[in-house]
Amino acid sequence: MTDTESAALAVEDLSLVIDGAQILRDVTLGVATGELVAVIGPNGAGKTSLLNVVSGTMRPTQGRVALHGRDVTTASPARRARRGLGRTFQTSYLFLGLTVLENVRLAAQAKGQRFGGLWRAPGRSAAALAPIREHLARVGLDGARNRPAGSLSHGDRRKLELAIMLASGSTIVLLDEPMAGVNSEDLPSLMELIRDVQRDTDATVVMVEHHIDVVLELAHRVAVMHHGALLAFDTPENVVADATVRDAYLGEPL
Ligand SMILES: Nc1ncnc2c1ncn2[C@@H]1O[C@H](COP(=O)(O)OP(=O)(O)OP(=O)(O)O)[C@@H](O)[C@H]1O
């Protein structure tokens, strides 16, 4: 168990109540630097709400969120981004009319602005584009750099989102269903890519995902949510063996 004091990302006693409905209840967990944690749970369990509270688009009713030991509970999403937090969404947020390269360039540009304009936004020279093309090559999309993002398959759009994360310099990354809408034949390569990028960059990753088989293979630890509470937070092996977790999934095998 990661001490929440030393964790890259920590939430403590987090509760969220909206219009009298308890969406999150007393969630406490710490994610270590370089750890890949998957959040699973039945529909409506509170997984996306947890990401919303961590990224700052929702304020918790009670509890605390910390990034690298610094309290960000009341900080804006932009301030959290400056602390290295990045996020993808269930529905893609790409600029579909812009090229693949332009999408990554915008992320790099936003990073430049985040760091107080100490360096100019990347221009269009070959030298300025080199790191962007490296990120694209990393996810296997350099050959598609001049295509509109809207012409990519779902799987390639997810890869582009990873390139955007790389370009934005995020060190703590929240991925909301990165496999959603991806063809089953593209799942293994996307899974490998997430694993490789995470390992190479030593990023801390928290991933909400419904593909349980993928999760069990990829994650170092799995957080299981049920009715807004954290039911289990353990290694994939221990989570699979946990009778309470099986019950939460109505006896379905994990
Ligand atoms: N802004 C909101 N106002 C009211 N209820 C909300 C709000 N956001 C989420 N909820 C409710 O909170 C509960 C948890 O929703 P959430 O989207 O976090 O679950 P989830 O585990 O991500 O589900 P799924 O797997 O279906 O995406 C649901 O019952 C949802 O209807």
Whether residue 120 is found in the same domain as residue 227: no
Whether residue 47 is found in the same domain as residue 61: yes
Whether residue 241 is found in the same domain as residue 225: yes
> Per residue of the chain (254 residues), what is the pLDDT tens digit?
566 667 999 999 999 999 999 999 999 999 999 999 999 999 899 999 999 999 999 999 999 999 999 999 999 998 999 899 998 876 667 899 999 999 999 888 876 655 444 445 556 667 778 999 999 999 999 999 999 999 999 889 989 999 998 898 899 999 999 888 888 888 888 999 999 999 989 999 999 998 888 889 999 999 999 999 999 999 999 999 998 888 877 555 55
Question: Which residues, judged by CB distance below 6 Å to any ligand atom, belong to the binding site of ligand 1?
Answer: 18, 21, 23, 41, 43-49
Whether residue 233 is found in the same domain as residue 243: yes
Tell me if 84 sits within 8 A of 54, measured CB to CB: no
Per the domain annotation, does 176 fall within a domain?
A: yes
Tell me if 29 sits within 8 A of 6, measured CB to CB: no
Report how far ligand 1's centroid is from the alpha carbon of 226 (Å).
12
For ligand 1, atom 12, the nearest C-alpha belongs to: 23
Place of tokens 């049920």: 226
Whether residue 78 is found in the same domain as residue 9: yes
Question: In this structure, what DSSP letter does residue 99 have?
Answer: B
Q: Which numbered atom of ligand 1 lies nearest the CA of 49?
A: 18
Last residue within a domain, chosen from 145, 169, 193: 169
Whether residue 5 is found in the same domain as residue 80: yes
Last residue within a domain, chosen from 114, 148, 169: 169
Report how far ligand 1's centroid is from the alpha carbon of 210 (Å).
15
Sheet holding 21-31, edge to edge: 21-31, 9-18, 62-67, 70-71
- What is the interface pTM, i.e. ipTM, of the complex? 0.94
Where does residue 135 rank: exposed (0-12), middle (13-18), buried (19+ CB within 10 A)? buried
Over residues 130-179, the pLDDT tens digits come to 999 999 999 999 999 999 999 999 889 989 999 998 898 899 999 999 88
Report how far ligand 1's centroid is from the alpha carbon of 41 (Å).
12
Whether residue 4 is found in the same domain as residue 78: yes
Report how far ligand 1's centroid is from the alpha carbon of 21 (Å).
10
Give how many domains the chain has, as a whole number: 2
Report how far ligand 1's centroid is from the alpha carbon of 46 (Å).
5
For ligand 1, atom 23, the nearest C-alpha belongs to: 44
Per the domain annotation, does 44 fall within a domain?
A: yes
Per-residue burial over 189-213, b if 16 or more Cβ lie within 10 Å, else e, is ebbebbeebbeebebbbbbbbebbe
> Of the residues 14, 40, 47, 215, which should be mutated to test ligand 1's pocket, given the most ligand atoms within 8 Å of the CB?
47
Which range of residues forms the domain containing residue 128? 91-169
